[in-house]
Amino acid sequence: MNTDQIVRTFVEYFEERGHRQITGSSLLPSPGDPVLFTTSGMHPLTPYLEGRPHPLGRRLVNVQRCLRTTDLDEVGDDTHLTVFEMLGTWSLDDYDGPQSLDWGYGLLTEGFGIDPGLLHATVFGGDDRSGPDTTSLELWQEHGVPVELTVEDNWWSNGPTGPCGPDSEIFLWTGDTPPRSTPTNDDRWVEVWNHVMMRHRRLDDGSLVPLGQHNVDTGLGLERLSSLLQGHSSVFECDVFEPWRRIVPGLWLLDERSLRLVCDHLRSAVVVIGDGVRPSNAGRGYVLRRLVRRMLTVLRRDDPWRSLVDLPDELVVHTLHHFRQNMDSHAVREVLLEEERRFGRLLERGRQVLARPRFRGLLREEDFHYLHDTHGLPRDIVLNLRSQ
Ligand code: SER
């Protein structure tokens, strides 16, 4: 199954069970939302999870693009991407957690043909504020799926305050041997689908109160599922990365981890630009700037002459098309190239300033402040220039 077929199968499965498809929003949350980027499918639905009636009813399904910088250091491993798509379903005070897990099990095993013997679940084991999630546990026991009970790993919230609750995660075995161990002890168990029983709200003082309605919020990372269904252990090998894997290695010789990071950050930068963000020194623009600079730093580690001038239009067009964005690919490339030129000028200035006798020895905290405030050189760039 290619990624488009996976999306269709997912959406149709839930439409047949009374869900209405909502249009996934852009990466930018609505005005007034303090969060810079949408980090999960539930984010744009927060008001409805908190009680506002949704115009399309109580059962929803969608595909939402998300951006996570919390996992930035993990990009390059098999499972993490900066921008990814999340398939999601919601019960807004309608059906309960076990029903959601039961449908999830049915879709994975019958809809996608996954061998039930390769599944493992985790369930909230309870703590001093909330009891164990026995109904999810029973559901998995009925299906004969092994369960691991955890505490922190099975409590989901989108931030320090707001809607939250216990969750049950479904893992798929990716090892070459028959399944063994448990998800928290063996990373060959890869998490594919999270079902959150969202029925609490955390207040500013950290206490939990009932949300007033019983929701279920589920999220499934699309690229992760695609790669597993397509028989690959890495997200970078699923079909949405096909043009990247075909073109980039011929363009720039990079080790596997660097190749993944360059592809991930470039693709993410294209999507962020496509959603209207421009590089700047604050907020969203700064996230974009950091992605581009991080990518350029890795790209040029072995060859300082490498440049985004060589980036083929096909990759930008493919990405914009995949994320259903209308921006002209040449305009996206121009934003990237301008940022590259700007970064080049900054590095040049940095080299000149750091060559001064004052900065030859060990740098003190006040040196870092001076370099940042007077010359616009952030600490990571200074450290990078000094290590060259
Ligand atoms: N909100 C949960 C997550 O992001 C489930 O959708 O994992």
For the chain, give every domain's residue range: 3-234, 239-355
H-helix segments, 187-255: 222-229, 242-251
- Record the tokens describing residue 35, joined without a space: 């969060």
Q: What is the pTM of this model?
A: 0.90
**Mean pLDDT (whole number) for 45-70:** 94
CA-to-CA distance for 190 and 187, rounded, in angstroms? 6
Q: How confident is the model at residue 78 (pLDDT cuts 50, 70, 90)?
A: confident
Our answer on whether the CB atom of 42 is closer than 6 Å to any ligand 1 atom is yes
**What would you report as the CA-atom Rg of the chain, rounded to the nearest whole angstrom?**
23
Tell me which of 40, 48, 64, 136 to substitute to probe ligand 1's pocket, judged by most ligand atoms within 8 Å of the beta carbon. Answer: 40
Fold adopted by 3-234: BirA Bifunctional Protein; domain 2 (3.30.930)
Atom of ligand 1 nearest to the CA of 195: 5
Which residue owns the Cα nearest ligand 1 atom 6?
Answer: 219
In whole angstroms, what separates CA 291 from the centre of its chain? Answer: 14
Our answer on whether the CB atom of 168 is closer than 6 Å to any ligand 1 atom is no
214 by Cβ neighbours in 10 Å (0-12 / 13-18 / 19+) ranks as middle
Tell me which of 10, 37, 39, 42 to substitute to probe ligand 1's pocket, judged by most ligand atoms within 8 Å of the beta carbon. Answer: 42
Q: How close is the Cα of 332 to the center of ligand 1, in Å?
A: 30
- pLDDT at position 92 is 98
CB 307 within 8 A of CB 340: yes
For residue 184, the 8-state DSSP code is T
- pLDDT at position 299 is 93
Our answer on whether the CB atom of 198 is closer than 6 Å to any ligand 1 atom is no
For the segment 135-170, what is each residue's pLDDT rounded down to a tens digit? 999 999 999 999 999 999 999 998 888 899 999 999
Q: How close is the Cα of 337 to the center of ligand 1, in Å?
A: 35
Q: How close is the Cα of 322 to the center of ligand 1, in Å?
A: 22
CB 174 within 8 A of CB 228: yes
Terminal Cα distance for the chain, rounded = 45
Which residues fall within 8 angstroms of residue 46, CB to CB, at 6 or more apart? 158, 162, 163
- pLDDT at position 176 is 93
- Record the tokens describing residue 348, joined without a space: 């040049």
**Mean pLDDT (whole number) for 202-217:** 93
- pLDDT at position 321 is 95
Our answer on whether the CB atom of 156 is closer than 6 Å to any ligand 1 atom is yes
**Mean pLDDT (whole number) for 108-126:** 97
For the segment 321-340, what is each residue's pLDDT rounded down to a tens digit? 999 999 999 999 999 999 99
Model confidence at 25: pLDDT above 80: no
Q: How close is the Cα of 103 to the center of ligand 1, in Å?
A: 17
**Mean pLDDT (whole number) for 203-207:** 91
**Mean pLDDT (whole number) for 356-370:** 91
Our answer on whether the CB atom of 179 is closer than 6 Å to any ligand 1 atom is no
Which of 183, 122, 117, 113 is closest to 151 using CA atoms? 122
What's the one-letter identity of residue 351? R
